[in-house]
Structure 1
Amino acid sequence: MPKNKGKGGKNRRRGTNNGDNEKRELLFKEDGQDYAWVLRMLGNCRLEAACVDGTKRLCHIRGKLHKKVWINPGDLVLLGLRDYQDHKADVCHKYFPDEARLVKAYGELPGFPGGGDDYQSDDDGDGGGGVLFEDDDVDRVIDSLN
């Protein structure tokens, strides 16, 4: 029998983090894009988001982000709007909590629900921190969308 010289197959490489700690360039919205907060996850790479312009949209997570960037309710995301379907959009980018604070500091988010300092601390570094909402803040956002 041949001697095993390797240390395992592709499952061993699955847990490596390559370049997750580097600083990313801050992306701002362009024409055909908008900022939104994730309201709830729907499954099948879809979510419901409240946009800055006051509409609730059904959004699709693009394949580049799928299983690489984890999106949770309360996260700030950048949406690519569709010309032919106004009530649907595509998630282009997820902002980490420190990036969302910078976007707010630059004045890109009018009517930011919950204020600027309501983010959870992200101790484990996986980008899973989101916005902490009070009950009256959630009610105010839902009422403004209806």
Structure 2
Amino acid sequence: MPKNKGKGGKNRKRGKNEADDEKRELVFKEDGQEYAQVARMLGNGRCEAQCIDGTMRLCHIRGKMHKKVWIAAGDIVLVGLRDYQDDKADVILKYMNDEARLLKAYGEIPDHVRLNEGVVDEDDAAAHDDYIQFQDEDIDKI
């Protein structure tokens, strides 16, 4: 029987992103770039994002980020605009929650944009208020 010489299967790669906790420098937009909030994920490395300038764009996640940086609906991203296609863009960078709060504090992102953390769904808030309060005489009857 041959001896195993490899380092294991594909599952050994799962613990690689341990350096995410360290702080990185905040990246601001440049010419040809725009901040956007992901509206929905489409699959195949694409998403639909609402840019700060008011345009809904179809965005392509770059290969360096694909399957390494997970993007979900509601995340703030930096997109690179295309000169030849105004309705399409490329996702360059995903901002973490604290970085998105800093961008909002610096005035880069307008106040009407709602960030992911602290968003309370109206249905969930109403579900927590559904309780029955018994009087003392009701408890005695039970």
TM-score w.r.t. length of structure 2: 0.75
User: Which protein shows a greater Rg?
Assistant: 2
Partner of residue 71, structure 2? 71
Deviation at 1:24, TM superposition (A): 1.1
Question: What amino acid maps onto 1:15 in structure 2?
Answer: R
Question: What amino acid maps onto 1:88 in structure 2?
Answer: K
Q: 1:103 to 1:56 in 2, by over 3 A?
A: same
Partner of residue 54, structure 2? 54
Give runs of aligned pairs for residues 100-139 of structure 1, distance below 5 A.
Answer: 100-114=100-114, 119=117, 132=119
* Cα deviation code 1:37-61 (max 9, x no counterpart): 0000011111000000000000000
Partner of residue 16, structure 1? 15
Q: 1:41 to 1:3 in 2, by over 3 A?
A: closer
* Cα deviation code 1:79-127 (max 9, x no counterpart): 000000000000000001011001111110124323x6x515xxxxxxx
Question: Would you say the 8 A contact 2:104–2:111 is kept in 1?
Answer: no
Once superposed, what is the RMSD of the aligned Cα atoms? 2.3
Partner of residue 80, structure 1? 80
| Structure 2 residues not aligned, in runs of 5+ | 123-142
Question: What amino acid maps onto 2:35 in structure 1?
Answer: Y
Question: What amino acid maps onto 2:110 in structure 1?
Answer: P
Moved more, 83-92 or 101-110: 101-110
| Structure 1 residues not aligned, in runs of 5+ | 121-131, 136-146
Q: Distance in 2 between matches of 1:133 and 1:34?
A: 27
Deviation at 1:62, TM superposition (A): 0.3
Question: Would you say the 8 A contact 2:76–2:100 is kept in 1?
Answer: yes
Q: Distance in 2 between matches of 1:11 and 1:44?
A: 21
Question: What amino acid maps onto 1:50 in structure 2?
Answer: Q
Q: Give the secondary-structure state (helix, strand or coil) at the position aligned to 1:89.
A: strand
Q: Distance in 2 between matches of 1:67 and 1:76?
A: 18
Deviation at 1:31, TM superposition (A): 0.3
Instruction: Report the number of matched residues.
Output: 121
Give percent identity, aligned residues only. 62
TM-score w.r.t. length of structure 1: 0.73
